[in-house]
Amino acid sequence: MTTLLEHSRIALASLRANWFRAALTALGVVIGVASLVAVTAVSAGAQKEVADSIRRLGGNVIKVDGEFITVGIRQSATDRTITPQDIAALSQLPAVTATSPHQAIESIVVSAGRNQANTWLEGITPTYSDVQNQTVVRGRLISGADVSFGRSVMVVGLDAEQRLFPGESAIGRTVRVGSQEFEVVGVQARRGALADENLDNRIFVPLPIVTRVLLGGTNVVHVDLRVETEADIEPTIGAIEDLLREQHKLPDSYPDDFSAEDQARIIREAQRATTTFRVLTFSLGGIALLVGGIGIMNMMLVSVQERFREIGIRKSVGATPWKVQMQFLIEALFLSVLGGIAGVLAGIGATRLIGVFAGWQTIVSVPSLILAFSVSFAIGIFFGYYPARRAARLDPIAALRYE
Amino acid sequence: MSRDAVPAVIELADVTKVFRSGEVSVEALRGVSFAVREREFVAIMGPSGSGKTTLLGILGCLDRPTEGSYKLVGQEMSALDETRRARVRGERIGFVFQAHNLIPRTTAYKNVELPLVYAGVPSAERRGRVLQALASVGLAERVDHLPNQLSGGEQQRVGIARALVVEPSVILADEPTGNLDSASAEELLTILGRLNEEGATIVLVTHSSEVAEHASRIIRFADGLVVADESTERVRSAAPLGAVG
C-alpha cells in the first residue's frame, strides 16, 4: 500500500510537470465521457417523457383518423369518412368504454383584444376529457349542455392563455375566432406534448360549433376510443377496421380510408426518430473515447521514451519490473480517470444546457455516472498497459546509458 | 590479520560475457576471477573497451554473466531473474553513476528515500535514515533542493547518500568524478575514503590513475581480462619503474 501511494505521488508529480500536455491528452477522454453522460441523460429523460405522456394522456386509447375524400378537385375538411353513424356504430363495439369524436382546425389565428395567437382549435364533446385525461386548473370543462345548446364557450391551454392574456387569467374573458366570439370558461391543466404537438397551445370549443358553424358539415376527422384494458387494443383495432370498411362499403381492392392506431404507440414511435440520433451520438462518444485512449497510449509511450534514464535509475535502486509497470500504469490511470471526472462534470453541464435550450427532459442517473467512470478507468488500464510494460521490460543497462 | 580471514563480499570465478548482435559476437569479458573482501576500496582501471563497464554491470546485478559464477556475500547471482536481481540491487548494492544520477524534478530527500521505498522500509523509519545519509555527505541543509538547484558535486554527493542509505554490502561507483571539477572531485573522493574507513566496501571504476590512487587496491583490465591486481602501496613503489594508468 505504501508503494501504491508512493507511485500515485510519483505519477501525479510527473503529470504536473507536463500538465498542459496531460490536459490535451485527457481531452479525448473528457469529450467521450461527457457525451456518454449527456446522451444517457437525454435518453433516460426521453424514456421518462414517453412514460409520462402515456400516463398523462391516458392509456388504452385508440385514435381513429379519417382521411380526405376527394370529389373532383374540391375537398373540404369535413369531407371525412367518419360520420355520425360511424361514431354510433364504433361506440357499440365490445370493450369500448368511451367514444370521443373531435375535429380540429390545426392552425388558426385567434385574438383577445390586441393579442393574437396562432393556435390549434379543437371541437370536442364532454367524453374528450374522459378519454384524454383532460382536466382544468381553473374554471370548468366543456359540458354536455355546451354541446347541445351550441354555446360559444371555450377552454384554453395554459400556453394559449399566456399568449392571449399575458400574466392574466383568461376566465370570463372573450376570445375571437374569425367573426365568432367565445367566452373562456376553463383553463386546461398542463398536458405536455403528443409526439411533436404541444397540447397546451390548444383551445377547445363545443364540437358542433367547429363542424357546423366554422366548417359547415357533420363529419369529423378524429375519434378517440377508450377500451377497457391494454389487451383489448389489438382486437378492437381489428374490429374497427372491419366495421368501418363495412360502413363505408369499401370493395376489397380499395385501401382503408381511415387509420386506427394505439395512442401509446404513436408516442413511442415519435421517440424512435430521436433514438436514432441518440445512438449516433452515443457511438461518436465511443469513438472519442477510443481516440482519447490512443492519445493516452501515445503520450505514455513518449513519456517512457523520455524517461529511459529515470527508469534506469529506479531499476538500479531496487525497482522491480512490476513496480515500474505499476508506476506507469497508475500514471495512465490518473490521466484517464481525471479525464473521466472532468468528462462527468462536463457531461452534467452539457445535459443542463440541453435541458435549458432544447427543453428536453433529462435524467442524470448515478449508475450512468459510475458506468462512465468505470469506462474511463478501463481505458486507462487498457491503453496504459502496453507503455507500462515497455518501461518494465527495459534493460537497466541500456536505460542507464540513454542520454 | 591476514586478508583471507576477512569474508568476501564479491567472488567472481571465470566470468565471461559475450554480446551477440546478429552474426557478430563480441567477447567483453574472457574469464575474469577475483574476490573483493569486506572494507576493501578497489579501483578497476583500464582503457575504454577493456570490459570494465561490463564488469560493473555484472557486479551491480544489472546484467548476468554469459558463463561463470558471481557470488555476492556468498549468494550466487548469475542465475537470478530480473525481479530478484532488482531486490538485490535495492538492498545490497549502492550505485553512484558518472552523471545524471538523480531523478529530475524530485528533491534530494525524495531521491535518497527512493531505495528505501522500493525496499518497503516503513515511512516512519525512512525519514531518520534519509536525513542521516544526507548529513554524512554534508548536505543536511540541501534536503529540499531539486537536482537543478544543486551543483554537480552536490548532485554526486546526493547520489552517494542514496547509495549509502540502504547500508549496502558494496558501493559501486562508475567514474563518479568524471563530470566534476578537480576541487569537487577531490571532495567526493575524500568522502568515499572516509566511508571506506568507516567500514564501507567500495568498488570504483575509473580510467584516471589519480582517482585510482585513493583506493587500497587496483585491478587493471585489458581486452576483457585482469592484467594486474595489486595493492596501492605496491603500485606506488612500482611507479618509478613506469607503471601507466
Which parts of chain B register pLDDT below 50? Answer: 1, 234-245
ipTM: 0.90
Provide the shortest C-alpha distance from residue B123 to chain A (in Å): 8
- Residue A133's domain comprises 68-256
Taking residues A219-238, report their average pLDDT: 86
CA–CA separation, B205 vs B60, rounded Å? 12
Contact B86 A315 (CB under 8 A): yes
> How many domains does chain A divide into?
2
Co-location of A311 and A206 in the same domain: no
Does residue A264 belong to any structural domain of this protein?
Answer: no
Nearest to A320 among B62, B86, B106 (CB): B86
Q: How far apart are CA B16 and CA B35, in angstroms?
A: 15
User: Between helices B108-119 and A2-17, what is the axis angle to 10°?
Assistant: 140
Q: Assess whether pLDDT exceeds 80 at residue A212.
A: no
DSSP A296: H
From A187, A209, A192, select the one nearest A121 (Cα to Cα): A209
- A313 in the same domain as A169: no
A144, A172: one domain: yes
Provide the pLDDT for residue B3.
Answer: 54
Cell of B87: 531486490
The answer to whether position A43 is within a domain reads yes
Among residues 160-219 of chain B, which lie with CB inside 8 Å of chain A? 162, 166
Instruction: Tell whether A15 and A158 lie within a shared domain.
Output: no
Q: Do residues A341 and A280 both lie within one domain?
A: yes
Q: Residue A184 — left, alpha, or beta (φ > 0 → left; ψ -120 to 50 → alpha)?
A: beta
* pLDDT band for position A38 (cuts 50, 70, 90): confident
In a domain, residue A57? The reply is no
Please give the pLDDT value at position B180. 87
pLDDT digits (tens, 9 = 90+) for A11-25: 787 788 778 888 888
Closest-CA distance, B103 to chain A, in angstroms, reads: 6
Please name the amino acid found at residue B104: P
| Domain presence at residue A265 | no
**C-alpha A308: how far from its chain's center?**
52
Task: Please compute the mean of the pLDDT values over residues A204-209 and round it to a whole number.
Answer: 91
Distance CA(B27)–CA(B103), nearest Å, equals 33
Work out whether strand A258-262 and strand B93-96 pair parallel, antiparallel, or are unpaired.
Answer: unpaired
Q: What is the pLDDT of residue A2?
A: 56
Does A113 fall in a domain?
yes
Q: Residue A77: its pLDDT value, please?
A: 44
Instruction: Indicate whether A395 and A295 sit together in one domain.
Output: yes
Query: How many other β-carbons are positioned within 10 Å of the β-carbon of residue B149?
Result: 12
Cα A36 to Cα A285, B74, B141: the distances in Å are 6, 60, 52
Please list every residue in chain B whose beta carbon sits closer than 8 Å to the beta carbon of residue A309: 100
Q: For position B91, what pLDDT does the model report?
A: 92
Are the beta carbons of A12 and A339 closer than 8 angstroms?
no
- Of the pLDDT bands very low, low, confident and very high (cuts 50, 70, 90), residue A76 is very low
Give this prediction's pTM: 0.71
pLDDT recorded at residue A35: 86
Taking CA atoms, A72 is separated from A75, A76, A363, in Å, by 8, 12, 53
Mapped onto helix, strand or coil, the DSSP state of residue B181 is coil
Q: Which residue has the higher pLDDT, A246 or A217?
A: A246
Mean pLDDT of chain A: 85
C-alpha cell at A163: 399568449
Q: In chain A, which among 227-246 make CB contacts under 8 A with chain B?
A: none
Note the pLDDT of residue A71.
47
C-alpha cell at A61: 386509447
Are A223 and A104 in contact by the 8 Å Cβ rule? The answer is no
- Test B62 with A316 for CB contact under 8 angstroms: yes
Residue A80: inside a domain:
yes
Whether residue A159 is found in the same domain as residue A41 = no
- Contact between chains at A323 and B118 (C-beta distance less than 8 A): yes
**How many degrees, rounded to 5, is the angle at CA A277 between CA A275 and CA A280?**
110
Q: How far apart are CA B130 and CA A237, in angstroms?
A: 86
* Domain's final residue, options A256, A282, A298: A256
Choose among A304, A222, A214: nearest CA to A260.
A222
Q: What are phi and psi of A121, to 5 degrees?
A: -95, 130
The pLDDT of residue B240: 42
Give me the pLDDT at residue A202, please: 93
Per-residue pLDDT at A7 exceeds 80: no
Q: Nearest-CA distance from B109 to chain A in Å? A: 14
How far is the C-alpha of A141 from the C-alpha of A138, rounded, in Å? Answer: 9
Query: Could you count the other beta carbons within 10 Å of the beta carbon of residue A76?
Result: 13
Spatial separation of the C-alpha atoms in residues A10 and B110, rounded to whole Å: 10
Spatial separation of the C-alpha atoms in residues A381 and A386, rounded to whole Å? 9
Per the structure block, which three cell numbers stand in for A329?
A: 500504469
Query: Taking a C-beta distance cutoff of 8 angstroms, is the pair B198, B38 a contact?
Result: no
CA distance A294 to A16: 20
Same domain, A206 and A297: no
Q: Does the residue A30 lie in any domain?
A: yes
Whether the CB-CB separation of B9 and B73 falls below 8 Å is answered with yes
Q: Using CA atoms, how far apart are residues A210 and A142, in angstroms rounded to an integer?
A: 14
Mutation to test the A interface, candidates B91, B118, B148, B160, most A Cβ within 10 Å: B118
A231 and A346 in a single domain? The answer is no
**How close, in Å, is residue B163 to chain A by CA atoms?**
8
Polymer length of chain B? 245
B62 and A321: CB-CB below 8 Å?
no
* Element at A130 (helix H, strand E): helix A127-131
Q: What is the model's pLDDT at position B2?
A: 53
Determine the Cα–Cα distance for residues A248 and A261; give it in Å rounded to an integer.
19
Nearest to residue A335, comparing CAs of A387, A384, A371?
A384
- Give the Cα separation of B153 and A390 in Å (integer): 33
Residue A63 has pLDDT above 90, yes or no: no
Q: Supply the pLDDT for residue A255.
A: 77
Average pLDDT rounded to a whole number, residues A112-134: 90
Q: According to the model, what pLDDT value does residue A68 have?
A: 54
The verdict on A82 and A177 lying in the same domain is yes
Residue B159 is predicted with a pLDDT of 94
Ordered by where they begin, the domains of chain B are: 3-241 (3.40.50.300)
Q: Which positions in chain B touch A3 (Cβ < 8 Å)?
A: 117-118, 120
Tell me what pLDDT residue B243 has.
40
| Pair (A215, A112) in one structural domain | yes
Query: Is some CB atom of chain B closer than 8 A to the CB atom of A317?
Result: yes
Is residue A261 situated within a structural domain? no
Q: Does A265 touch chain B (CB under 8 A)?
A: no
pLDDT of residue A74: 47
Q: Which residues of chain B make contact with A319, given a CB cutoff of 8 A?
A: 86, 90, 118
Specify the range with the lowest mean pLDDT, choosing from A256-270, A307-321, B44-58: A256-270
Residues whose CB is less than 8 angstroms from the CB of residue A265 and which lie 6 or more positions away in sequence, other chains included: none
Minimal-distance CA residue of chain A relative to B64: A397
Q: Which three cell numbers stand for residue A86?
A: 360511424
**What pLDDT is stored for residue B49 in this prediction?**
83
CB of B118 within 8 Å of any CB in chain A? yes
Binned at pLDDT 50, 70 and 90, residue A3 comes out as: low
Indicate whether A215 and A245 sit together in one domain.
yes
Q: Please tell me the predicted confidence (pLDDT) of residue A364.
A: 87
